[in-house]
Amino acid sequence: MKLLPDRLESIVSTLEGLDRSDRIQMLIEVAGQFKPVPPRIAERPYPESNRVPGCESDAYVWPEVGKGNTLTFHFAVENPQGISAMALAAILGPTLSGAPLEQVAQVPADMIYRIFGRELSMGKSLGLMQIVNMVRIAALKRIQATTTKTSR
């Protein structure tokens, strides 16, 4: 069974195939593409309900219902040194937005090791996994809400 949507798998596989220094350089470049949550979705101060628990970079996640019962994901990273969180958000946003909810809900949180390698500190890895978990939970909630509406 395929765990990652195609667009995410493509990026993850590319990063996985790089040596450590090339991977770091590419992730810095990816972090530079991070686009913060648009004001139409949220403005500071951000609601605690969107805060990623345990994330040292003070990250937030917002799911927006899109076309065809999909979600578009928006992120904020309040720590300007949160390069890893920005890189992950810049990867997850475009690759999981619009993907089938069932696929998003199945993305394993530990896939962050495929992106960043095993050299992550425990605190950083837990925070990054929590970003993935918040995206997964949003997909699961949307699936549940849709199922509840359909079964009525």
Domain of 78, CATH number, reads 3.90.1010.10
Q: Residue 116 sits in which domain range?
A: 6-151
Q: Say if 1 falls within a structural domain.
A: no
The CA distance from 92 to 96, in Å, is 6
pLDDT values of the chain reduced to their tens digit, one per residue, 152 residues: 457 999 999 999 999 999 999 999 999 999 999 999 999 999 999 999 999 999 999 999 999 998 888 999 999 999 999 999 999 999 999 999 999 999 999 999 999 999 999 999 999 999 999 999 999 999 999 999 988 866 65
Q: Say if 107 falls within a structural domain.
A: yes
Instruction: Give SS3 for 80.
Output: coil
Q: Say if 75 falls within a structural domain.
A: yes
Q: HSE of 55 in the Cβ direction (CA atoms, 13 Å)?
A: 30
Q: Number of folded domains in the chain?
A: 1
CB 107 within 8 A of CB 135: yes
